[in-house]
Chains A and B, each alone.
Chain A
Amino acid sequence: MKLSALAKKEGQDILKNKIYLGVVFVQVFILLGTFGIALATSIASDPALLDQYGATSALKVGVPDSIQGSQLESDLQKQNLNLTYYKNISDAQQSIGTTLVAVVGFNSTTGQNITVKTDTSNVFYPVVSSKINNAVNEYQTQKKLASSGLSNTEIQRIINPINLQVVNLNENHPANIALDSSYFVEIMYGFIVPFILLLPFFLASNIVTDSIVGERERKTFEVLLMTPISSSMVMLGKTLPILFFSLIQSVAWIILLDLLKVPIYNPLFMFIMLFFMGLGFIGIGILLSMFVDSTKEANSAITIILVFATFILFMPLFIKTSYFTPILNYIPTIIMVKIGSTPNIGPDILISGLPTILLSIMIFGFTVKYFRRERAIRL
């Protein structure tokens, strides 16, 4: 009863705090912003998606007037490139980096000496380069095979020696994903999802330090400790509302991501992971609160700790070296990626989450023990 009264009071304090609520809304903008950027960059870097969305007007390639009517012009047009014709090729080359992404030169009399100049700093460079290469390769092969005397069927067999058939199974339960792009799937599940779902816990560490150090600054902590309630209950009463406030936010972001067509799979296991990680974050916040004297000091210290936490949690997502793989499998963010992106997870993934759960329980347990001994009171 006493615990519920304290938890209720802490919960009400959080919900009445306009600043905390403001930060929750900031997270919505972060989520929508990162989703939008991921969507835009996925389309901009994928030739097939650019064609599908008809956004090929930005793929501007300068060509000489003399290319008109040639096989090369037809091959370039087949790649959906936006061709701009110039009388003089040197005029076109001057526009590289401003209006043009690339210039394709061509000797129309001989059909030889193709020159390709591209601006690698352009955002559409990878797509344009890939499309020009496809067109030029096709042109070269056709020119070579034209003199071979082979039939059309034989030429096609040489040009396409492999026939890849794609068969989609389980089509009655399709993944409801916003964009069918490997880049989008990798960037969303591989970075943005764990980042967004952990944001509330970064805020939780701040709320914890505010709550405990704030009581000390206002000299109300002594009164709280004088009440007939155990240290463990004080600790739980202060932390549970913060933990639930963070978990509710994370669940809301899971629902919002689902609405944006980035479904998070295994929500129950994800919730369990977040619960224990939240305990760890809050435990660190409480521990820190016991060593500092003011909110100002607590804010500075928690910022630095969160920088290190970000490094430990998110750097492994970008590490390629294979000799780190055994350790990487136990990093909480990597486990979150696997849980969130796999419809049917195996027991190995769940087992790899155990060290995180144990470590979080240890941090929180140590904090409770230390709090009970010291009662966090340094008057």
Chain B
Amino acid sequence: MKFTSITKWEFKNTLKSKKFMMIFFLQLSVLFLMIIIFNSFVTNIESDNSVSITPSLSGFASMDVLDQSGLFLKLINPADISIVPLSYNASMSNIAEGKTTGFLYVPGNADQKIRSGQTIDMTIYLDSSDPKSSVVRDEVNSTTQIISQSYSNTLTDSVVPQNTTIPTVKQESTGESLPLQIIKKVMLVILLFLPLLLFGNMIIDTVVGEKERKTGEILIAMPMSQAQVIIGKSMAVVLTISLQVAMWLIILLIAGFHIDNPLLVFIFIFLTSIPIIGITSVVAAYSKNFKEAGIGLSIAYMGIVGFLVVPVLLYLSRKSFIANISPMTIVMRIFSGESIPPTDYGISLAAILIVSIISYWIAIKLFERDDIMFGPRPGILRLIYDLITFKKF
């Protein structure tokens, strides 16, 4: 009897389970939700002149303005600040009572004065006790700079002789902006890797379930090694994940996402699922029950997500070679159409191989130990001691 028999049983049972199919399609609905979020982010970014990923809270801060000339009011961007035209006394009273974050006073004849080349004095009163005063101050500062620059240019042109040679400026830029890369590349690559983290419960179910149902003894008595049991069960989950990844890829391609070389993308995600399921198997082999396994899995997955995502951000900001250790970086580079040297593939594949070997070895060794399967279960420190001293390992 080989591990493939276990894989076949588990895979068939999975596909026959109505509850599994419901979860499978609920996950697809999560994907649709993600696509909506993704598209709204991209639309938001592309419609703006400045690119940012900050919360866009309308009316986050408030500011009273006395600007009878209209010089300032017509140019301020009221995205995060609610602007209220009000008198001086009422505004100062509002600040004193904490009803508004700031008050901007613009002289009544500001428009005339600035056109005639005179300096105008504006005053912004800020409520120091309100943490949002910096939001109001920065918005007023940036609007003032825009107005100032515009009038400065007009006045300069009017006083400079026509035959004056003006230094020309030619601006060029390389690369895509970081926020846009984060939205377009990082979010897409996270979407592609999401199925890898959604099926952890399956391996928990098949391994911890045997312990809870007390069927572990029967499994161990079967004519196959514990290694074959763990690998057989893991491969069934890897197959299920690959099915989901394939479906997600097809949906994303239909939804209009640009993914270069989808087959290579699929192969790399498939390969990455092997060590992730290996780590999940370690958690499953050690856990006593579903609850413990669920929490252990959440903590393990935080580490996995960190290992996958942080190098991606490192690669985007520094083009670091070591960032290729994360398969997520390689997948992002593949679907972006980058030319990738073999050494970069090599470092990622080596990481997949090493983590796979170590995780499956630990999972098998834990599964082979009677004290872990049937109790009393040793603590983690005791296991580390056994590992160092080669006892029972």
Q: State which of A23, A191, A344 has its C-beta within 8 Å of the C-beta of B97.
A: A344
**Does A163 lie at the interface of the complex (its beta carbon under 8 Å from any beta carbon of B)?**
yes
The smallest C-beta distance from B14 to any residue of chain A, in angstroms, reads 13
The answer to whether B134 and A145 touch across the interface, beta carbons within 8 angstroms, is: no
The answer to whether A299 and B294 touch across the interface, beta carbons within 8 angstroms, is: yes
Once A140-B166, A168-B126 are accepted as A-B contacts, the answer to whether A163 and B121 lie under 8 Å apart by CB is yes
8 Å CB interface, B189-207 against A: 201, 204-205
**Does A236 lie at the interface of the complex (its beta carbon under 8 Å from any beta carbon of B)?**
no
**Does B156 lie at the interface of the complex (its beta carbon under 8 Å from any beta carbon of A)?**
yes
A319 CA to B37 CA in the complex, in Å? 10
**Interface code A342-358, partner B: CB below 8 Å = 1, 0 otherwise?**
11101000000000000
Contacting residues, chain A, for B99 (C-beta < 8 A):
344, 346
Contacting residues, chain A, for B134 (C-beta < 8 A):
177, 180-182, 184-185
**Does B378 lie at the interface of the complex (its beta carbon under 8 Å from any beta carbon of A)?**
no
The answer to whether B167 and A111 touch across the interface, beta carbons within 8 angstroms, is: yes
Of A118-126, A227-235, A247-255, A367-375, which stretch is located at the interface? A118-126
Q: Total interface residues on A, using CB and 8 Å?
A: 92
A302 CA to B114 CA in the complex, in Å? 62
Once A22-B299, A175-B129, A185-B135 are accepted as A-B contacts, the answer to whether A161 and B120 lie under 8 Å apart by CB is yes
**Does A113 lie at the interface of the complex (its beta carbon under 8 Å from any beta carbon of B)?**
yes
Contacting residues, chain B, for A140 (C-beta < 8 A):
166-167, 169
Contacting residues, chain B, for A157 (C-beta < 8 A):
117-119
8 Å CB interface, A140-163 against B: 140-141, 143-145, 147-148, 150, 157-163
**Does A54 lie at the interface of the complex (its beta carbon under 8 Å from any beta carbon of B)?**
no
The smallest C-beta distance from B13 to any residue of chain A, in angstroms, reads 14
The smallest C-beta distance from B106 to any residue of chain A, in angstroms, reads 9
**Does B337 lie at the interface of the complex (its beta carbon under 8 Å from any beta carbon of A)?**
no
Contacting residues, chain B, for A118 (C-beta < 8 A):
171-174
8 Å CB interface, B288-343 against A: 289-292, 294-296, 298-299, 302, 316-317, 319
A12 CA to B188 CA in the complex, in Å? 44
Once A147-B161, A315-B37 are accepted as A-B contacts, the answer to whether A263 and B131 lie under 8 Å apart by CB is yes
The answer to whether A123 and B178 touch across the interface, beta carbons within 8 angstroms, is: yes
Q: State which of B139, B160, B294, B317 has its C-beta within 8 Å of the C-beta of A182.
A: B139
A322 CA to B59 CA in the complex, in Å? 11
Contacting residues, chain A, for B58 (C-beta < 8 A):
320, 322, 325, 328
* Chain B, residue nearest A159 (CB): B152
The answer to whether A120 and B319 touch across the interface, beta carbons within 8 angstroms, is: no
The smallest C-beta distance from B137 to any residue of chain A, in angstroms, reads 7
8 Å CB interface, B111-137 against A: 114, 117-135, 137
The answer to whether B125 and A169 touch across the interface, beta carbons within 8 angstroms, is: yes
The smallest C-beta distance from A118 to any residue of chain B, in angstroms, reads 5
The answer to whether A121 and B117 touch across the interface, beta carbons within 8 angstroms, is: no
The smallest C-beta distance from B190 to any residue of chain A, in angstroms, reads 14
* Chain B, residue nearest A308 (CB): B33
Contacting residues, chain A, for B170 (C-beta < 8 A):
113-116
* Chain A, residue nearest B198 (CB): A303
A122 CA to B179 CA in the complex, in Å? 10
The answer to whether A165 and B128 touch across the interface, beta carbons within 8 angstroms, is: no
A177 CA to B149 CA in the complex, in Å? 32
Once A185-B131, A263-B131, A311-B33 are accepted as A-B contacts, the answer to whether A144 and B152 lie under 8 Å apart by CB is no
Contacting residues, chain A, for B319 (C-beta < 8 A):
97-98
Once A26-B299, A163-B119, A164-B140 are accepted as A-B contacts, the answer to whether A295 and B291 lie under 8 Å apart by CB is yes
The smallest C-beta distance from A294 to any residue of chain B, in angstroms, reads 8
The smallest C-beta distance from B25 to any residue of chain A, in angstroms, reads 11
**Does B87 lie at the interface of the complex (its beta carbon under 8 Å from any beta carbon of A)?**
no
Contacting residues, chain A, for B376 (C-beta < 8 A):
none
The answer to whether B166 and A169 touch across the interface, beta carbons within 8 angstroms, is: no
The answer to whether A161 and B148 touch across the interface, beta carbons within 8 angstroms, is: yes
The answer to whether A158 and B117 touch across the interface, beta carbons within 8 angstroms, is: yes
**Does A117 lie at the interface of the complex (its beta carbon under 8 Å from any beta carbon of B)?**
yes
Contacting residues, chain B, for A175 (C-beta < 8 A):
128-131, 133
The smallest C-beta distance from A327 to any residue of chain B, in angstroms, reads 12
Contacting residues, chain B, for A20 (C-beta < 8 A):
295
The answer to whether B55 and A318 touch across the interface, beta carbons within 8 angstroms, is: yes
15 CB contacts below 8 A, A to B, read A111-B167, A114-B167, A114-B170, A120-B176, A137-B149, A166-B123, A170-B95, A173-B129, A175-B129, A182-B134, A190-B60, A296-B205, A299-B294, A318-B41, A342-B130
